[in-house]
Chain A
Amino acid sequence: MSSETGETGKAGIIVAPEGANSMDKLAHSVLDDLLYNIVHDLLIKVHRDEKMARAATAAIKVEKLASDASESSTPDAKPDVRIETDAAIYEEGKVLLKGNPLKTTKEILCPRCHLPRLLHPTDGKGAKKQDQSIIYCKKHPYIEKPGYDIYGQTWVAPGPGRGKKKKDMEKKLDPDASPAPGEGGAKDRPPNVLSFPSATCSKCKRCILVTRLNNHMGSCIGNSGRNASRAAAQKISNGGSNGGSQNNDNTPPGSQKGTPLPASRAASPRKRDGDEFDEDGDDSDPNNPKKKKPKPNVLTKKVILKSKSQSQGQGPSNKKEKVKANSMLSMEQRVDDEDSKNSTVQVAPKKSTPKGTSPIKKLKINPSSKPPQPTSGPKKGSKRERDQESESSGTLSSPPQ
């Protein structure tokens, strides 16, 4: 139509320059028509969504009035009343529109919960303050704000020493992410700042920070061998009641089977002492050599007691506490490594990390527990034996050397 004569199409935005030849004009008017079509299609779509939502709102409102007006208590029954609002008529179980719902109806009710929909996001682009006096439908417009997700949530950057990677560093750059998941972080944080949760390993039932879960499962379940799974299975049967406390550190598969009996015998008197202090179910596992090791003297025992009661007080389900403990672990371990250049730890620090949780934590809580260790002669001997079998035990025995 317009292509015959005009310099532009129906939208009138793409105009051929003056003195353009007819092909130029044609091209401009075709392009302009196509632009018109794009806008037309978009408009039809938005119009449909909006008008149908408003029409449904008008219907919901008048139906509500009708069911309120009727005495019948059954919600499904169609009340035999005639109700009229500005936007619709309810009659014989039917809703008939009055006028154009785009004009008569201003709000939108959720077709499911019948509560008004919040029409603007509460934060970020296009945000408006919401009316606190109104209970809105829980489906809110999505938030578009840099550094935040569609629900306006952001995440605490992973703490130091927790396997820092490039990705983690990038997350730290998020403008409003609070950097320290430190003590009492959960309380200080605004509710929309989330921290990384922990999850239970389906095999060993330990609680692992989510960012380490894959690593953990790789060594616990994965192809790091039959021994790993065997050890984990035994752990489950032995200490099933411990419910994922971080103290349930498992021993590397090799040492669990391989730890010679003499070691456990030698440790047994004190071991039992220790057991009385920590009521965590897993500690009664006599095959767990690591449990014995850090308890050669009274001083250490006290420390253990302290750490146990601490963790118990906070309950095994307190994930945040566990997260914190883990972060200390990693930091402490590095210190540990530096101390002991000749230790066997360097063999595979990665593997030992998720396993060595509890002993290292004890070290952290009372660093002075290191010096007394050498005094316990018989203990040391058994420790040495274990060193050859497990790099994780090595971590612990190294400081005395």
Chain B
Amino acid sequence: MAARPATPASPKNSKVKAPQPGQPQYGCEHVQRLFNQDQATTNTSIQHYKMILRSIFDTTPLIPQTAKPMDSAAVTILTPTYLCLQCPSTLTEEDRAKHGHKKAHRFYVDSRSGGVYCQMCDDIVWDPTFEELRLRKIGTGTFSTNRKRKNEDELFAADPSKESPQYISTNTSIASCKANGLRGIYNAGATCYQNVVLQSFLHNPVLRNFYLSDGHQSSNCEIPHCLSCAMDDMFQDFYALENTNGYTAANILSGFWISDKKAFENLVTTKEQDAHEFFQFLAEELHERNGDGKKPETGSEHSCNCIIHQTFYGKLQSTTTCQHCGGVTNQVQSFLDLSLPLENLTQKRGKKNSGAAKGPAHMTLTECLDEEYIKSDKCEYRCHNCNSMQQARRQTAIKRLPNVLSIQLKRFEFKQGRNERAAKIDTPVHFPLQLNMLPYTNRARGGDVKDNYELARSCTYDLLSVVVHVGEIDTGHYVSYCRVGDQWFQFNDHKVELAQKSDVLGAKAYLLFYIIRSLT
């Protein structure tokens, strides 16, 4: 379970985090004393802490939640326990004082957060050394400083000479504390479908870091009306200026109008458009400006190192099994987003509900994902072995998860028949703040991954932004919610307001953006 055996025989001495300006060296005077006793104490303290973190985050919760008081039987509780940093005891809050009194052990780790409790302060202390380990465990899952995700290394390949504080301070400018990226975007006349997508890009940490670290410098780019330059300028305006007034996305708009993408010709009118189409347009346009120049083709596998591919693109694998000979065919294709149909499920619900009381039909995001990426469907298929058309079962799973997972809930469907008009499906779909994508990957098919907490964590996503369409299909309006840190904001064109989690979760989402936890 543990990534590495945590034996004290490890040759390296554990080090306390180097002092940082503007930060105390230790969490409290008592931690200071602990770390200043001798090297052996420091080593065991840090190794014990790592072990405790592993048992909290990498094992079944049964282990850390079971307290073993010295004098009575073990008891498992739901509420937090405290794991002694200086011996292998796990204690309830009540027994903690007793244990400390008897053994003179003063530090305990909270089983829910991994925070260190100091008995002498009678408070949780946030020691920089311990905190760094805790955050790394929660984030990437490993204690080593080498980044785990390969993608990110390519993206932000570090040149050691450029890492020195001197180099950074001479080559960067510090933005005002007021510049925080929170600005509205003016509606240029039925452009709210663009604004919501732009806001979700602006508050996407991967894209933000790319543009703010001069990933695409508009001053060095010679392509006229380049949309990536327009994005660069917009990121600069949002994160470097003190301006709190709305932003006028004139360059994005003109870049959009000038773009000669034939596939999007019908998108270019002054009518309100589909935000999802604009998302695809913008993603592909930015890929062409930053990527390998190949057009991403739907239905095929396309690997590229551009910022858009590293942010949004994943891979799907569909497995077709011939019902006659049992032959299996695999097909891999790249995806920019997952589109989840709502219609079938809505209809099923409708049938179920019609018998019983007519409650408001609703469903969950996981149900929609189950339908697409766990269940299999029947299809006709030309089998190579049998050399004839055969019944087959087809099943699709995610082969490679993206850093930012975008999900479209297909609320707008063209209804065949009567008057062939597009209709909006208004069924609420409940979506979570954190999403575990492991069940939808093809690794989940392999074997028993139920208890693999490390794997599950590497597939855990946090909700980043939500695009909502309100109103009717033709006259509606788009708003979006984005998360900055732990705070949610609602973006309604030029207006930015605070939002509660309940506002976000109660919204009838159209597009959802989830970011992989190990990146944040």
Contact = CB atoms under 8 A, between A and B. Distances in A.
B109 interface: no
Contact of A112 (B177, B250, B258, B489): B177
Contacts of B270: 214-215, 218, 222
Given A30-B78, A44-B110, A44-B113, A218 B269 contact: yes
Interface stretch (A193-201, A282-290, A293-301, A322-330): A193-201
A176 interface: no
Contacts of B184: 149
Interface in B271-318: none
B88 interface: no
B79 A213 contact: no
Given A33-B77, A96-B29, A102-B123, A211 B187 contact: yes
A200 B250 CA distance: 7
A137 B112 CA distance: 34
Nearest to B251: A202
A93 interface: yes
B143 interface: no
B191 interface: yes
B22 interface: yes
Contacts of A110: 177
Interface string A122-154: 000000000000000111101010000111010
B470 to A, nearest CB: 11
A56 B25 CA distance: 10
Interface of B: prevailing SS: loop
A309 B275 CA distance: 44
Contacts of A151: 244, 496
A153 B178 contact: no
Given A1-B92, A59-B24, A9 B79 contact: yes
Interface stretch (A14-22, A46-54, A266-274): A46-54
Contact of B189 (A33, A101, A203, A211): A211
A113 B26 CA distance: 23
Interface residues of B, number: 65
Contacts of B475: 166
A199 B250 contact: yes
B121 interface: yes
B28 interface: yes
17 contacts: A33-B79, A40-B79, A51-B124, A51-B126, A52-B126, A59-B23, A97-B24, A112-B177, A138-B177, A149-B496, A194-B245, A197-B186, A199-B248, A203-B258, A212-B188, A213-B189, A214-B270
A225 interface: no
Contacts of A56: 22-24
Nearest to A46: B486
Given A142-B498, A167-B477, A60 B22 contact: yes
A387 interface: no
Contact of A138 (B26, B178, B496): B178
A202 B182 contact: no
Interface of B: 19, 21-29, 32, 75, 77-80, 92, 110, 112-113, 115, 121, 123-126, 174, 176-178, 180, 182, 184, 186-191, 225, 242, 244-246, 248, 250-251, 253-254, 257-258, 265, 268-270, 475, 477, 486-487, 489, 494-498
A151 B498 CA distance: 10
Q: Is the interface of A mostly helix, strand, loop or mixed?
A: mixed
Nearest to B256: A217
Contact of A210 (B23, B176, B186): B186
A111 B21 CA distance: 10
Contacts of B246: 194, 197
Interface in A169-204: 194, 196-197, 199-203
Nearest to B124: A47
A41 B113 contact: yes
B11 to A, nearest CB: 27
A98 B79 contact: no
Contacts of B248: 197, 199, 210, 213
Given A44-B115, A210-B186, A201 B28 contact: no
Nearest to B169: A76
A37 B498 contact: no
A37 B123 CA distance: 17
Given A37-B78, A138-B176, A218 B25 contact: no
B4 to A, nearest CB: 27
Interface residues of A, number: 71
Contact of A212 (B78, B110, B189, B225): B189
A138 B112 contact: no
A34 interface: yes
Most buried by A among B28, B115, B254, B475: B254
A331 B162 CA distance: 59
A265 interface: no
B174 A112 contact: yes
A88 B125 CA distance: 15
B498 A96 contact: no
A100 B79 contact: no
A45 interface: yes
A166 B180 CA distance: 31
A95 interface: yes
Nearest to A146: B497
Contacts of A113: 177
A336 interface: no
A388 B123 CA distance: 84
Nearest to B179: A138
Contact of A96 (B25, B126, B268, B496): B25
Interface in A251-270: none
A59 B22 contact: yes
B209 to A, nearest CB: 18
A150 B269 CA distance: 33
A44 B112 contact: yes
Interface string A64-80: 00000000000000000
Contacts of B187: 167, 210-211
B188 A96 contact: no
Contacts of B174: 112
B257 A1 contact: no
A58 B24 contact: yes
A55 interface: yes
Given A110-B177, A212-B189, A100 B28 contact: yes
B15 to A, nearest CB: 14
Contact of A150 (B268, B486, B498): B498
Interface string A1-44: 11000000110000000000000000000100110110011001
A210 B188 contact: yes
A223 B268 contact: yes
A40 B80 contact: yes
